[in-house]
Chain A
Amino acid sequence: MSRKRSSDTPIIDASTSDSFDLSASALHTPTESQLKNRPKLRVRIKKFHGVAHWTWNCGDDDDDVCGICQSAYEGVAPGAKYPGDECPVVVGKCRHYFHLQCITTWISTRNSPTCPMCRQEWDLGVETSRDDGNN
């Protein structure tokens, strides 16, 4: 089998060698030598595309957007360049979620920090973990 790589090679290259012996004897319990010589399905993985899905663990917030910027929690808040760890979602003691950048900017405009949703005093809960989709 060729090991040559090219962009349009199939993702999985499967080839079988030898031919199947479909005679009646082959259908009985195989002997040692038959086991050794049985046709093999050989699969060589030449390459694969990994696709991962993640979402922030934001409880069962019925809205999937940050109330402040109206962008998805998984999106990029103003001031951040990339989604993910650079643009974390934080939760207050009141269980309301916002992008870290968004709530920080809001609080910096206030004398006393309040949650935009419930107006309770904003107190940072724990940073939410990322749910990588295996729950």
Chain B
Amino acid sequence: MSTSARRRLLRDFKRLQNDPPSGVTGAPMDTNIMVWQAVIFGPDDTPWEGGTFKLTLEFTEDYPNKAPSVRFLTKMFHPNIYADGQICLDILQNQWSPIYDISAILTSIQSLLCDPNPASPANSEASRLFNENRREYNRRVREIVEQSWVDE
């Protein structure tokens, strides 16, 4: 079945393969192009280095006029990521634009890892430690990184 959302997702997939952004990867499920699995690698020279964080992206027929719903499957510790993996990121909410594609979404989430937005805390403990005790915050992030290797 070809819809404009599916057609656009195929183009996103081609683009992701031909021009892969560094540190992120993703592919649709074999059975359903509307659901994608993705991995974001923790950026080097940051506490996130070495982590492999899995996400799932669910698109609706309104894509690209509506943002997909994106959720981390890997347990995270980050000021803007809820306990259930949902991400508080403006471009996935009110700052969404239909010119974004999957590469742009994944790259934005990757940069959010090291650059939290203190204005929209989703995890109050991570938020507090990030502001008040960066050493402890980094230690907790390293824990998450190590757990990400075990998560299957």
Chain A residues near B (Cβ < 8 Å)? 67-71, 78-79, 102, 105-106, 109, 116-117, 119
Docked-complex contact B7 and A116, CB < 8 angstroms: no
- Cβ contacts B1-14/A at 8 Å (1 or 0 each): 00110011001100
Q: In the assembled complex, which residues on chain B have CB atoms less than 8 Å from the CB atom of A116?
A: 97-99
Interface residues of chain B: helix, strand, loop or mixed (majority): loop
Question: Total number of A-B contacts with CB less than 8 angstroms?
Answer: 36
- C-alpha gap A17/B4 in the complex (Å): 61
B68 located at the interface, meaning its Cβ lies under 8 Å from any Cβ of chain A in the complex: no
- C-alpha gap A6/B80 in the complex (Å): 72
Chain B residues near A (Cβ < 8 Å)? 3-4, 7-8, 11-12, 15, 62, 64-66, 97-99, 101
User: Which of the listed residues B3, B8, B62, B98 has the most CB atoms from chain A within 10 Å of its own CB?
Assistant: B98
Distance (whole angstroms) from the CB of A88 to the closest CB of chain B: 17
- C-alpha gap A117/B101 in the complex (Å): 13
Docked-complex contact B4 and A67, CB < 8 angstroms: no
> Quick one: which of B4, B65, B66 contacts A79, CB cutoff 8 A?
B4
- C-alpha gap A78/B11 in the complex (Å): 13
> Quick one: which of A70, A78, A109 contacts B15, CB cutoff 8 A?
A70
Docked-complex contact B7 and A119, CB < 8 angstroms: no
